């Protein structure tokens, strides 16, 4: 195929695979941050403090309607202006973690809202503590609603990690760009990056669907997906 060099391909493949590890670490770490902060965002919007609810709501809305790349630049460059120097990794994780926290908070919210009000009332009338209400009654019922969302955003954060390359995080896309700059060959590195992304994200998405059905079945619900 058009000038495709297999020798060169195998020469750069180890370097790209090594960088893939960084991509996976970035996605995983960012997702963990997003899971925790997202929960905080979601719970903050359920408190009776109107002002807090309003501020968090608007902040989430702001993050969700502005580009991630710009947020990454913002976090990376604004620190030094005020004398705080953050490494590319730190600022990248803050930016991508916050960005996805905003999205995940909506998933948490939808999950908690999907549980009928009667369930809360039943818990109150049985005199269950707030912990038992959440852990034994509400959360198990919210899980099937939130799994697709969590799954999509996990794949989503993985696909957004190339944006971290703009501030110099050494992930997969950064490695491909460096190879391109060193060798003036773009065909193999960028095609390989695309292929690596596909090889990871397609099975991941399929696994998510299976997992969703598995959870639904084990909670005594119907499967959503036919065999794929």
Which of the stretches 11-19, 90-98, 114-122, 187-195 binds another protein when contact is defined by CB under 8 A? 187-195
Of 24, 29, 69, 128, the residue at the interface with another protein (CB under 8 A) is 69
Touching another protein, residues 79-108 (CB under 8 A): 80-82
Give the number of other Cβ atoms within 10 Å of residue 133's Cβ. Answer: 17
Closest CA to 71 of 52, 51, 93, 45: 93
User: Does 140 engage in binding with another protein (CB under 8 A)?
Assistant: no
DSSP codes of every residue in 12-67? HHHHHHHHHHHHHHHHHHHHHHHHHHHHHHHHHTTSS-HHHHHHHHHHHHHHHTS-
User: Does 166 engage in binding with another protein (CB under 8 A)?
Assistant: yes
Of 201, 209, 211, 216, the residue at the interface with another protein (CB under 8 A) is 201
Which of the stretches 29-37, 129-137, 186-194, 211-219 binds another protein when contact is defined by CB under 8 A? 186-194
Residues 93 and 26: beta-carbon distance below 8 Å: yes
Residues 169 and 22: beta-carbon distance below 8 Å: yes
User: Does 22 engage in binding with another protein (CB under 8 A)?
Assistant: no
Question: In terms of CB distance, is 16 or 138 closer to another protein?
Answer: 16
Question: In terms of CB distance, is 79 or 139 closer to another protein?
Answer: 79
Give the interface size with another protein as a residue count (CB under 8 A).
40
Distance CA 9, CA 3 (A): 12
Distance CA 113, CA 136 (A): 16
Residues in contact with another protein by the rule CB under 8 A: 2-3, 61-62, 64-71, 73-74, 77-78, 80-82, 159-163, 165-166, 173, 177, 180, 186-187, 190-191, 193-194, 197-198, 201-202, 205
């Amino acid at each position: 195929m058009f000038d495709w060099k297999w020798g060169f391909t195998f020469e750069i493949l180890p370097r790209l695979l090594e960088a893939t590890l960084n991509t996976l670490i970035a996605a995983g770490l960012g997702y963990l941050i997003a899971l925790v902060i997202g929960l905080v965002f979601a719970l903050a919007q359920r408190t009776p403090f109107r002002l807090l609810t309003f501020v968090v709501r608007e902040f989430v809305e702001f993050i969700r309607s502005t580009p991630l790349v710009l947020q990454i630049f913002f976090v990376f460059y604004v620190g030094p202006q005020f004398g705080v120097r953050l490494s590319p990794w730190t600022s990248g994780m803050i930016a991508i973690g916050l960005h996805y926290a905003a999205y995940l908070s909506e998933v948490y919210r939808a999950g908690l809202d999907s549980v009928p009000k009667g369930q809360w009332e039943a818990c109150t009338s049985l005199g269950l503590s707030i912990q038992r209400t959440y852990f034994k009654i509400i959360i198990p019922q919210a899980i099937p609603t939130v799994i697709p969302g969590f799954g999509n955003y996990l794949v989503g954060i993985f696909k957004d990690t190339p944006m971290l390359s703009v501030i110099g995080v050494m992930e997969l896309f950064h490695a491909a760009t460096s190879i391109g700059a060193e060798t003036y060959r773009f065909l193999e590195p960028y095609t390989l990056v695309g292929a690596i992304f596909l090889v990871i994200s397609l099975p991941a998405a399929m696994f998510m669907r299976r997992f969703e059905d598995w959870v639904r079945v084990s909670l005594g619900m119907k499967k959503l997906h036919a065999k794929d």
